[in-house]
Structures are given as C-alpha cells and as structure tokens.
C-alpha cells in the first residue's frame, strides 16, 4: 500500500485530541457509575470505545490517501525555454505608461512567470551591454525576486544595443542545447521601447531564424512619448537646446525583428495592454519532448476507508449507552 500524504504532525495532533476526548468520556462514565454504585465498564462502554477508535483510525487512513495497484504509466516531460531580454536603458524610466515603463514591465513579467510554470524562464538585461541576470530556471521564487530588483541602475548608461543582447540570448539558449539539458523549443522575449544604436539587430534576427529560435517582442511606450527622467531625479537634457529629451516608442524595428524569426509583436501603451495576448501566443508554441519515463501509478482508494468510517459513525449515533436503570 502507498500513501500519497504520509503520516505527519497534524495527524498526531488529531490523535492526541481524540485520545483526550475518549479519556474524558470514559472518566465521565466512570464517575457517574461510581456515584450510582453501578458497574463501571459494562459491554456497551467497551463497545463504544472500540467503535469510535475504529472509525477514527479509518478516517486518518483515508486522509493519508491510500492507494495500491501495479499499473505503470508513461510520463512525458515537455517544455520550452523562454529567455526574457529586458531593456534597462534610462528611457525605460519614462512615465508615458503609468506608473513607468519599467514598473509596468515588472508587473507583467510576474504574470508571465506564473503562466509558464512548467517551462524554464531566464532573464537577460541590457542597455549598452547585455548581462544574464537569472539563468534559465524552474524556480519561480528566484525569478520573481530578480524581477523585483530590475532597475536602470543595474546596467551602464548609454545607447541601447539590441543586437548584442540578442546575440547573448542566442548563445545561452544554444549552449544549453549542446549540454543536452534543453528542449528544442526556444523563445526570446524582447521587451524594449525600440530604440537601438547597434545596427546589428536584423543580422542577429536572421541568425535566430537559422537556429530555430523564435523572437517575440513587447513594445512599451507611446507614440507621443515622454521625458526621460534620470536616476538623480533630474530630466535628461538635450546638450544643444537644453530642453528635456523625449523618448518615443519605435515599434517598426521590433515588428521587423519578430517577423524575421516567425514570432510576433505586442504592445503596452497608455490605452492598451497586449501582454495577455502575448502569453497566449507563446503558450501555443509546442515544446518538444525532453524526457520519457515509466512510473508506477497507484489510484487513490481513500473511499475504501471513508465509507466504512461513515457507517461506523452512523452506528455510534444509533447505539446509546445505559449508565443506570431506574426501577419503579
């Protein structure tokens, strides 16, 4: 017999409570019988004690999820690798999307992590240089912790370089494949406002296509744009005019990069949030087979113990204990 929920401290507490209850009940019967000078432990008292102990034990067994049987079942592990590349340039602090572009991205990333709990997810951050912040993992707690710490202070300030970010993301996905640790369904999710000074992004997208890696893009921002606040609390100024620098969403490049790899482009702006559609689109991509193994399956037979316990409880209700008899 196999138990799906092993004997734990909670069951011990139940047993102690039950034991104390039985003891108090017996003590009460003893006290009443002693005062009335009647026989202390007659048959009904013993029978009641055994009856209640029996259905209590049966209930504990049913709660532990007993099962038996030698059936074997083939289990297939299927999944995807999703590497999220997050733009952390200063323009992501713009508040044309409330409360800011970056804060909105962090909120939506937590939803994505929850949606793909059976897939490996990693986080790459970039501005002028890319860095792997969290390698591919199933650990949702670690991912949420890294998401919470996302800040433009984590990367050197400078012009946004999408090309090198895609190159590093591709390298990490393919290196896991060489080690035999990864399913073949590989996805890069690029989150950015579309500004790019690398001039290499399209070449990298072509390489992604050759390696079978799909690129999905999530553009964050508005066409009207917003000012770029700096970490110092001041707004970024144009060196020539002295005016605030305005950053606008440049969706054309992101759409083109996604189209090259067979992915898709989605957007978050002041009126629309397409991240749920993005999650559905990624979810439709079938992960290839990772592993197959045979495991022993035992069906939960809790009702074999619960039904008799209910019958004994009904019997307990119907049977009364005679403590004394009045002769007229």
Spell out the domain ranges in the chain. Answer: 2-72+297-318, 80-287
Q: What is the pLDDT of residue 282?
A: 92
Choice between 167 and 44, residue whose per-residue pLDDT is larger: 167
Q: Is the peptide bond before 99 cis (omega within 30 degrees of 0)?
A: yes
Render the burial of 100-115: b for 16+ CB within 10 Å, e for the rest: bbbebbbebbeebbeb
For 115-128, what is the mean pLDDT? 92
Q: Distance between CA atoms of 169 and 34, rounded to whole angstroms?
A: 83
Lowest-pLDDT range of 38-52, 83-97, 193-207? 38-52
What pTM value is reported for the model? 0.64
For 99-127, what is the mean pLDDT? 94
Q: What is the pLDDT of residue 150?
A: 96
Check pLDDT > 60 for residue 133. Answer: yes
Q: What is the pLDDT of residue 2?
A: 64
Check pLDDT > 90 for residue 88. Answer: yes
| pLDDT band at residue 232 using 50, 70 and 90 as cut-offs | low
For 87-97, what is the mean pLDDT? 94
| pLDDT band at residue 97 using 50, 70 and 90 as cut-offs | very high
- Name the fold adopted by 80-287: Rossmann fold (3.40.50)
């Amino acid at each position: 017999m196999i138990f799906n929920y092993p004997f734990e401290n909670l069951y011990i507490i139940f047993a102690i409570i039950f034991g104390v209850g039985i003891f108090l009940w017996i003590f009460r019967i003893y006290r009443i019988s002693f005062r009335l000078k009647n026989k202390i432990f007659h048959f009904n008292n013993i029978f009641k004690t055994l009856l209640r102990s029996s259905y209590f034990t049966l209930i504990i067994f049913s709660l532990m999820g007993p099962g038996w049987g030698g059936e074997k079942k083939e289990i297939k592990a299927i999944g995807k690798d999703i590497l999220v590349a997050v733009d952390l340039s200063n323009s992501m602090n713009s508040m044309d999307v409330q409360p800011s572009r970056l804060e909105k991205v962090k909120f939506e990333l937590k939803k994505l992590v929850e949606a793909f709990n059976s897939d490996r997810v990693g986080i790459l951050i970039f501005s002028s240089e890319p860095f792997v912040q969290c390698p591919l993992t199933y650990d949702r707690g670690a991912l949420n912790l890294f998401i919470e710490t996302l800040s433009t202070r984590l990367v050197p300030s400078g012009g946004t370089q999408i090309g090198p970010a895609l190159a590093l993301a591709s390298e990490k996905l393919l290196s896991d494949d060489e080690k035999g640790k990864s399913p073949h369904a590989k996805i890069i999710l690029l989150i950015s406002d579309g500004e790019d000074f690398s001039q290499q992004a399209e070449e990298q997208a072509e390489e992604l296509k050759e390696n079978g890696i799909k690129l999905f893009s999530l553009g964050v921002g508005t066409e009207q744009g917003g000012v770029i606040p700096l970490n110092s609390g001041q707004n970024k100024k144009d060196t020539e005019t002295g005016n605030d620098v305005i950053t606008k969403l440049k969706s054309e490049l992101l759409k083109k990069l996604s189209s090259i790899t067979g992915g898709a482009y989605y957007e978050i702006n002041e009126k629309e949030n397409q991240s749920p559609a993005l999650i559905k689109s990624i979810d439709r991509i079938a992960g290839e087979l990772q592993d197959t193994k045979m495991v022993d399956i035992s069906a939960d037979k809790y009702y074999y113990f619960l039904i008799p316990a209910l019958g004994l409880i009904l019997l307990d209700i119907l049977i009364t204990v005679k403590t004394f008899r009045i002769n007229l």
